[in-house]
Amino acid sequence: MPNFPELRLRRLRKNEALRSLVRENHVDVGDLIYPIFVVEGKGIKKEIELMPGVFHFSVDKLKAEIEDLTRLHVPAVILFGVVNEKDEVGSGAYHPKGVIQQAIRAIKKNAPDMLVVTDVCLCEYTSHGHCGVICDGYVDNDKTLPLLAKMALSHVIAGADIVAPSDMMDGRVKAIRDALDIHGFDTTPILAYSAKYASAFYGPFREAAGSIPQFGDRKSYQMDPPNAREAMREIEQDIREGADIVMVKPALSYLDVIRLARDKFDYPLAAYNVSGEYAMVKAAAKMGWVDEKRVIFEILGSIKRAGADIIITYHAKQVAEWLSLVK
């Protein structure tokens, strides 16, 4: 093995062409999923205060946005619904004419090649803001499962390409897989939010989606942030139940968990670069404290380097624009 002065690692960093040749990881637009918030009503495209550059769209305003994303070669969107009427059991989540079911139909009609992923979780639709049904003040796991299955099925009937359960109930992947298979949707993949932590980084999202829990917190179902081994058990459980893609969420404080999952499981791995992570970058950039573009590529690059194949990120559209300018 040579050593200095024969060995000089700086030789391969001399210019951009050399650096490009030996670059180990790349942020590719084809790996990105762009989150979209859909609201009830008409003619609405309104910027979300805590997430500059991200908007609330009514269904009729989605067409232009999806056209932009198609032009930019963003392959997929993930949809979140924001509703006015809520109840104890989140009925709006699985109504055949719910806001998400309408959005899916509209997108698939205008842009059949755009992959539509849907978030399967009750929190945006329940009056109490929890991800499942409440019994005696506790989120009841088994009573929630049929509702999640019903919700996922309604998305797939409307035309969703992938369903993504984010509720963290035990057994939800199996419940959804069974419901889809019984109804002939055995070719629809499940992207499971497998290792989803009870994170403070979801703050801006909950404001945007109106899904702040009205009492307590999500710690009895989402994971405890200091745990990593438990994340492997969550992923293993979801794989056993039939998940096709597994996910770690959030991304940045959990890069070690992404790496562990990459090394342990030969399954496609997604990471969710969440709202709080996005908001911090936007705030610092607005203050002029960081170079926004470089910071974003560094962040997304770190998620790829940790081992994620797929990144869900609010930066996707902007990144796609930057990448299209380079070409």
Kindly list the catalytic residues.
Answer: 196, 249
How far lies 43's CA from each of 37, 39, 63, 99, 137, in Å? Answer: 14, 10, 12, 14, 39
In DSSP terms, 197 is beta-bridged to 223
C-alpha span between 189 and 258 (Å, rounded) = 21
Size of interface with ligand PBG, in residues (CB under 6 A): 11
C-alpha span between 215 and 223 (Å, rounded) = 18
Among 206, 282, 304, 315, binds ligand PBG (CB under 6 A): 206
Q: Which stretch binds ligand PBG (CB under 6 A): 53-61, 139-147, 169-177, 203-211?
A: 203-211
Please tell me whether residue 197 binds ligand PBG under the rule CB under 6 A: no
Please tell me whether residue 34 binds ligand PBG under the rule CB under 6 A: no
Among 125, 197, 202, 221, binds ligand PBG (CB under 6 A): 202
Residue type at 35 in one-letter notation: P
Among 32, 117, 131, 269, binds ligand PBG (CB under 6 A): 131
**Nearest 10 degrees: Cα torsion 269, 270, 276, 281:** 100
The CB density around residue 150, as the number of other CB atoms within 10 Å, is 18
How far lies 104's CA from each of 35, 131, 225, in Å? Answer: 13, 21, 33
Return the number of the residue (139 or 306) whose C-beta is nearest ligand PBG.
139
Please tell me whether residue 139 binds ligand PBG under the rule CB under 6 A: no
Query: Which distant-in-sequence residues (6+ apart) come within 8 Å of 233 by Cβ?
Result: none
Please tell me whether residue 299 binds ligand PBG under the rule CB under 6 A: no
Please tell me whether residue 317 binds ligand PBG under the rule CB under 6 A: no
Return the number of the residue (110 or 237) whose C-beta is nearest ligand PBG.
237
C-alpha span between 23 and 210 (Å, rounded) = 41
Helix spans in the chain (H): 16-21, 62-71, 99-110, 141-158, 172-182, 203-209, 229-241, 255-264, 275-286, 292-306, 316-326
Among 29, 39, 176, 274, binds ligand PBG (CB under 6 A): 274
Please tell me whether residue 205 binds ligand PBG under the rule CB under 6 A: yes
Please tell me whether residue 94 binds ligand PBG under the rule CB under 6 A: no
C-alpha span between 164 and 8 (Å, rounded) = 47
Of 285, 309, 245, 313, nearest to 36 (Cα)? 313
Please tell me whether residue 121 binds ligand PBG under the rule CB under 6 A: yes
Q: Which stretch binds ligand PBG (CB under 6 A): 17-25, 102-110, 204-212, 224-232?
A: 204-212
Please tell me whether residue 246 binds ligand PBG under the rule CB under 6 A: no
Least CB distance from residue 164 to ligand PBG, whole Å? 8
Please tell me whether residue 254 binds ligand PBG under the rule CB under 6 A: no
Among 32, 82, 123, 235, binds ligand PBG (CB under 6 A): 123
For 113, counting Cβ atoms within 10 Å of its Cβ (0-12 exposed, 13-18 middle, 19+ buried), the class is exposed
Among 101, 118, 154, 166, binds ligand PBG (CB under 6 A): 166
Please tell me whether residue 234 binds ligand PBG under the rule CB under 6 A: no
Query: Which distant-in-sequence residues (6+ apart) come within 8 Å of 48 by Cβ?
Result: 37, 54, 55, 56, 204, 207, 208
Least CB distance from residue 211 to ligand PBG, whole Å? 6
Please tell me whether residue 119 binds ligand PBG under the rule CB under 6 A: yes
Least CB distance from residue 26 to ligand PBG, whole Å? 24
Indicate the DSSP class of residue 197: B
Q: Which residues bind ligand PBG (CB under 6 A)?
A: 119, 121, 123, 131, 166, 202, 205-206, 211, 274-275
